[in-house]
Structure 1
Amino acid sequence: MPDHDPPPSIDQLIDGLIAREGGYTNHPADRGGPTRYGITEAVARAHGYSGPMSLLPRDEAAAIYRRLYWLRPRYDQVARRAPRVAAELFDTGANMGPGVATTFLQRALTALNRNAKDFADITPDGRIGPRTLGALDSFLDLRGAGGETVLLRALEALQGERYLRLAEKRPANEAFLYGWLANRIGNVE
């Protein structure tokens, strides 16, 4: 068997995300308004930052990512089972919201359970709890390492479809579609 690199740590995932997001932007087509390191002004304000967005400290952005997009949605629990899936959920959650990313996981697991023969269907509620973790455990027990790869593909398919739908529903989002597809799909394996 070939040697594999160890899974990335949350610090490495945050570093990669901040590198992809870049510095300060205030694109007129972006409903999120001013952002720095991918953190919107609304999120920064909700978490105590009161300064200009162009000066949001990197360590503050990293702390927000760790708290809101890793620990709160329980992706640390997913990482213990499937680190590449957790990395994908973290990246998707930072871009679309953790509830959306988690719903993608729940939908994919339910669709891959062979009509509930392998484990019970999961209600796609956008929250990781015992049922979602149990379904993930069952899926990985049945499908092994190859199952994690298939699950990643399902998550990325759902993510890509959502990006296309966002651009179709709001033409201003076409300004971002190429970058979303280039920088968000397949970048965490």
Structure 2
Amino acid sequence: MSDKAKIWGSTLAAAAAIVGALFAVEGGFVNDPKDPGGATNHGITEKVARDHGYKGPMEQLPKSVAVDIYTQDYINEPGFNRVIAISPAVGHKLVDAGVNAGAGRASRWFQEALNQLNRGGQDYPMLTVDGQLGPRTLAAYQALERKRGRAKACEMVLKLVDVQQGAHYMRLGMPTFVVGWVDHRLGNVPLARCAETVAGGGQ
């Protein structure tokens, strides 16, 4: 098997582990009248499920459908699979934040973190914070790795994404949910995981 094929296979395995972690956090069916997302199962809202063609009761949404939705909407489409291939820990954080707050918002938090860590453009060019995770964003993260070291770059990005995510929660005016969000969504990717690679080894 080629090195490229091994990396691709390891990236798929890392993505599957992230989806498994999402299931553990999101739980099963809920329909809280205070939650604007409405009926939700496995973390998938009814609107998202319907947009993907699911017509059955939300209480019976199969996990396999949820896996497909997570993979398409929250891993591949926003380009987080490419981040997972570079840093599984940062990729996990972006996927989780994307599920909870929107993939575009998670991408902007990532870009903003990178801009704050480039010493005013000295270490790599400033990014347009547009939520479009393309080659320039990935190149900026890799430049940060080269400058700060693989683990340290990951640690700093995780911290800054958490800061922005926490500030987002505080602005929402939804106090019923803040305790759960802070408990389960902030600091949920341990900094110790920053040494991981897609192949499961260290630096």
Q: Same fold (TM over 0.5)?
A: yes
Contact 2:106 2:131 (8 Å CA) reproduced? yes
Q: Which runs of no fewer than 5 residues in structure 2 stay unpaired?
A: 1-9, 191-203
Work out whether residues 29 and 42 of structure 2, in 8 Å CA contact, stay in contact via their aligned partners in 1: yes
Specify the alignment match of 1:180 in structure 2. Answer: 181
Cα deviation code 1:54-112 (max 9, x no counterpart): 11001111110011100111111111212111100000001111100000000010111
Equivalent of 2:120 in 78, 94, 115: 115
Inter-partner Cα distance in structure 2 for 1:143 and 1:22: 37
TM-score norm. by structure 2 comes to 0.85
Residue matched to 1:151:
157
Match of 2:196 in 1: none
Instruction: Write out per-residue CA displacement over residues 28-75 of structure 1, whole angstroms, 9 at most, x where no aligned residue.
Output: 111111000110000000001011111100111111001110011111
> In the alignment, does 2:108 pair up with 1:103?
yes
Using CA pairs under 8 Å that are at least 6 residues apart, name the structure with larger relative contact order, 1 or 2: 2
After TM superposition, what 4+ stretches of structure 1 lie above 3 angstroms from structure 2? none
SS of the equivalent of 1:89 reads: helix
For the residue of structure 1 that corresponds to 2:169, the secondary structure is: helix
Q: Distance in 2 between matches of 1:90 and 1:149?
A: 16
Amino acid in structure 2 at the alignment position of 1:45: R
For 1:90 and 1:115, how far apart are their aligned partners in 2? Answer: 27
Indicate which of 70, 80, 96 corresponds to 1:65.
70
Distance 1:14 1:73 in 2: 15
Which structure 1 residue ranges, 5 or more long, are not aligned?
1-5, 168-172
Structure 1 residue 188: deviation in Å? 2.1
Paired residues, number:
179
Secondary structure in 1 aligned to 2:86? Answer: coil
What TM-score does the superposition give when structure 1 sets the normalisation length?
A: 0.91
Sequence identity of aligned pairs in percent? 41
